Structure 1
Amino acid sequence: MSERSAGPARLLPWTSPSGSPCYLVGDGTGFVSRLADDIERVQLGMADDVLDYAEGMLADRTTSAREVRFLARGLADALRDVRRIADSREKRSTPG
Structure 2
Amino acid sequence: MAGDLLEHAAALLKEKGATTGELRYLANRLTESLTDVKRVAESRGARLASKRAQKNLK
TM over 0.5: yes
Aligned to 1:54: 9
Q: 1:76 aligns with which of 31, 36, 52?
A: 31
- Structure 1 residues 1-96: aligned runs within 5 Å: 46-94=1-49, 95-96=52-53
Structure 1 residue 56: Cα displacement: 0.6
CA deviation map 1:11-53 (0-9, x unaligned) = xxxxxxxxxxxxxxxxxxxxxxxxxxxxxxxxxxx11111110
Greater percentage in strand: 1
Report percent identity of matched pairs.
37
| SS of equivalent to 1:76 | helix
What TM-score do the two structures reach when normalised by structure 1? 0.51
Where has structure 1 moved over 3 Å in runs of 4 or more?
A: none
Specify every segment of 5 or more residues in structure 2 that has no aligned partner in the other structure, as ranges: 54-58
Unaligned runs of 5+ residues in structure 1 are: 1-45
Count of residue pairs brought into register by the alignment: 51
By percentage of residues, which structure has more helix?
A: 2
